[in-house]
Amino acid sequence: MSSLGIYFGVKDISLVETSGRKILNSVRLPHPSLAMTELEEKVPVDVKLIALIKDALRTYRVKANEATFCISGQDMVIRTFEIPMLPLSELKGAINFEAKKYIPFKIEELDYDFQASFNKKNKTSLVLFVGMKKGILESYLSISKQLNLKVDSLEYSAFSILRFLKLAGSSDAGVVASFCFDLNSEDEANFMVFENGFPLFSREIVLAESLPGFEQSIEDDFTQKLEKLKNEIRVSLDYYSRKFIDKDIKNIFVVSDAKSRRELGSFFSESSIPATFVDTQKVLGKNSTYSSVLAKSFAASQSKSSPIEIKINLLAAKLKATRAAAPGFKPFTLLEGFKLDLKFVFLGLVVCAAVFTFGLMRIQPLRQELAAIKEQGLKASPALAAKNYETLSDLAMKYSKKIAASNRLINEHMYATYPLDAIPRVLPNGVWLSSLSLKYREGALELSIDGYVDLGGDADREFNTVNVFLGNLKKDPVFSKYFNEMTITSIDQKLVDHNSVAVFNIACKSIPEKKKNDQTRNGQVRPDYQE
């Protein structure tokens, strides 16, 4: 079965149909938004685009009915940022909040997906955020529907280049970069740095064309683009080195035409970063002439047979968001497509049976001991029958006092489960607890909370977060029910694991015991004893 990759570039559209890694059809079309006549301007671009591609599919007898759309960076939002490590249940909300800092419009206008890489050592998550405006995504879906094509995925063009490198046999181990360009066309150049297949930084470079009335010779235009390209490489590498200080690039894989390879060879030789020029004919075939649009559309056609580490899927994310927003949505729809493996079911039953048997073995001695205690229960002494009424009354009073003392020990005991359970629910992001100390002293319960705040060394924000944490404790109805005195006893900036953090202590004290007893005697039921 053949596969189809369609790249929607800045100036060109490229269609590549493949069988395995063999190119069956390769079609390059000018974008219909260019060089329009006055009559053509009245026809929507999408209509002309559909007609153009449909005609090409018919003319070249393309048989594939499924396709992967490769999208240029001008239609997408790609950002990489770092957040503290969070539970999966909180991750989406935190990413949604953080992404708002990096996009120039409302996040509600986007269909987006993300992928996180967790660093347990630094307790951080590196997030790859990819989005597309809802109107643009709907436009691409409309195109696929009009063409009667099932779209497997919409892929960012730089991700397609990572697949092209994989097909060429290039290793993605460690921190390496990819650089794809074509000085013979107006297509955008893609620069990306990735670590073990996960993107750290990406950038699209559009090489300016000659202005009308100032046309240059082909050779002069090529030289001008080459010089601009060199400058853009310097800018990209400089920006990356400042953003990722501890992640040095080990190699740059360059995907380009033969002429540019010769021109850039000396440029990269002067750099401290080694460069490897990819043999494009090894991937595209000896009879194919390289172009960046061909490389991207070819790589897109290989999306099923040659997957990469990036699992971004805007179509699946859009479908999931649509289902969640639809009336009558039920949580069990999240299990659609889940496959049950009987081997794991059997293994789970064996583990459950083993735990149950072990529990019975542990509880049986306790049952036997309990039965023995019941048999040896206290019995009334026959000597009591010989006592007079006054003696029995004195004994009854003594036993009543003992019972009252036992009841006080049980009823007036302060249970710490409820206030301690409230703490994690009011804990702000960035706050980590190091110790809790609970003491009962002079009729009052004292709780000491030690912890630290790690917000990247921003002392003002970290100190303010401690105050927010204290305010949350005071406002929590469960915690404040047990502790009426809460103060920050100490706060300081210290180094913990080579990171500057705010270390703090919060002291909490309960209502004095005398006040509680007074409330009980007045007929009030204390909330901590309610069932």
Q: In what order do the strands lie in the sheet with 275-277?
A: 198-205, 189-195, 175-180, 251-255, 275-277
The whole-number pLDDT of residue 214 equals 43
pLDDT > 90 fraction of the chain, expressed in percent and rounded:
38
Q: Which residue has the tokens 């967790």?
A: 118
Q: Residue 428: is it exposed, middle or buried by C-beta count within 10 angstroms (0-12/13-18/19+)?
A: middle
Under DSSP, is residue 238 helix (H, G, I), strand (E, B) or coil? helix
- The span from the CA of 388 to the CA of 366, in Å, is 42
Q: Is the pLDDT score of 516 beyond 60?
A: no
- Tokens found for residue 432: 């980590």
Q: Which fold would CATH assign to domain 3-206+222-329?
A: Nucleotidyltransferase; domain 5 (3.30.420)
The whole-number pLDDT of residue 42 equals 64
Amino acid (one-letter) located at 438: L
The whole-number pLDDT of residue 467 equals 93
Top pLDDT among 217 and 239 is at 239
Q: Is the pLDDT score of 218 beyond 80?
A: no
Strand 251-255 and strand 275-277: the pairing is parallel
- The span from the CA of 507 to the CA of 470, in Å, is 10
Average pLDDT over residues 290-299: 94
The whole-number pLDDT of residue 528 equals 41
* pLDDT-wise least confident of 81-95, 229-243, 351-365, 419-433: 351-365
- The single-letter DSSP state of residue 207 is P
Top pLDDT among 499 and 28 is at 28
* pLDDT-wise least confident of 262-266, 457-461, 490-494, 515-519: 515-519
* pLDDT-wise least confident of 115-124, 301-310, 463-472, 510-519: 510-519
With residue 421 as reference, give the H or E element that holds it. helix 417-422
Tell me if 147 sits within 8 A of 53, measured CB to CB.
yes
Q: Is the pLDDT score of 213 beyond 50?
A: no
* pLDDT-wise least confident of 51-60, 265-274, 413-422, 472-481: 413-422
The whole-number pLDDT of residue 212 equals 45
Q: In what order do the strands lie in the sheet with 22-30?
A: 22-30, 12-19, 3-8, 66-71, 150-156
Average pLDDT over residues 118-134: 89
Q: How confident is the model at residue 475 (pLDDT cuts 50, 70, 90)?
A: very high
CA dihedral 237, 239, 241, 243 (to 10 degrees): -150
- Three-class SS of 366-420: HHHHHHHHHHCCCCCCHHHHHCCHHHHHHHHHHHHHHHHHHHHHHHCCCCCHHHH
The whole-number pLDDT of residue 293 equals 93
Judge whether 3-206+222-329 and 417-529 match in fold. Answer: no
What is the rounded average pLDDT for all residues in the chain? 83
pLDDT digits (tens, 9 = 90+) for 399-419: 888 887 777 666 655 567 778
Average pLDDT over residues 120-139: 90
Q: How confident is the model at residue 511 (pLDDT cuts 50, 70, 90)?
A: low
Tell me if 488 sits within 8 A of 469, measured CB to CB.
no
pLDDT > 70 fraction of the chain, expressed in percent and rounded:
85
Q: What is the pTM of this model?
A: 0.60
Which of 205-209, 352-356, 468-472 is predicted most confidently?
468-472
- The span from the CA of 98 to the CA of 65, in Å, is 39
Average pLDDT over residues 239-264: 87
The total number of residues written for the chain in this structure? 531
- The span from the CA of 476 to the CA of 422, in Å, is 8
Domain spanning 417-529: CATH superfamily: General secretion pathway protein M, EpsM (3.30.1360.100)
Spell out the domain ranges in the chain. Answer: 3-206+222-329, 417-529
Average pLDDT over residues 109-124: 89
- The span from the CA of 265 to the CA of 130, in Å, is 33
The whole-number pLDDT of residue 523 equals 42
With residue 57 as reference, give the H or E element that holds it. helix 45-59
pLDDT digits (tens, 9 = 90+) for 421-435: 889 989 999 999 999
- The span from the CA of 172 to the CA of 166, in Å, is 8
The whole-number pLDDT of residue 222 equals 78
- The span from the CA of 408 to the CA of 425, in Å, is 32
pLDDT digits (tens, 9 = 90+) for 323-370: 877 665 454 444 445 555 677 788 888 888 888 887 778 788 878 877
- Tokens found for residue 340: 């049950």
Tell me if 227 sits within 8 A of 205, measured CB to CB.
no
Tell me if 488 sits within 8 A of 473, measured CB to CB.
no
Q: Which residue has the tokens 């049952």?
A: 367
